């Protein structure tokens, strides 16, 4: 789990009471989501589910997220695409 005081962390995690605060911490990229950030965000959410009653996700910098990091984007084979979903959420249609 990434410690929130690590300024280099792509996802900073802080627990305040029963609320987990997850910061997308790539302001120089407008918190665009690449493979590394997505993996760390998934880890942070799993961690938060064990110790928090609510999760707040926000972006450090001028926006929440610029969406997909196109500099890291590549075509993926179907077997490479994660089918993991957060427990308690409905399956996609």
pLDDT in tens, the chain (93 residues): 444 445 568 888 999 999 999 988 887 766 777 778 888 889 999 999 999 999 999 988 777 776 666 566 666 666 666 666 666 666 665
Which pLDDT does position 64 carry in this prediction? 75
Which pLDDT does position 86 carry in this prediction? 62
The domain 11-80 having CATH identifier 3.90.110.10: the answer here is: no
- Structure-token match 């196109």, residue found: 70
For the sheet containing 11-16, what is the strand order?
11-16, 19-24, 54-59
Which pLDDT does position 16 carry in this prediction? 95
d(CA 32, CA 27): 9
DSSP 8-state class, residue 15: E
pTM confidence score: 0.64
């Amino acid at each position: 789990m990434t410690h929130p005081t690590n300024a280099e962390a792509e996802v900073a995690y802080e627990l305040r009471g029963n609320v987990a605060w997850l910061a997308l911490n790539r302001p120089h990229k407008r918190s665009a989501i690449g493979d590394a950030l997505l993996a760390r965000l998934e880890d942070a959410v799993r961690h938060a589910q064990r110790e928090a009653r609510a999760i707040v996700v926000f972006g450090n910098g001028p926006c929440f997220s610029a969406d997909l990091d196109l500099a890291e984007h590549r075509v993926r084979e179907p077997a490479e695409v994660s089918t993991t979903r957060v427990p308690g959420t409905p399956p996609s249609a």
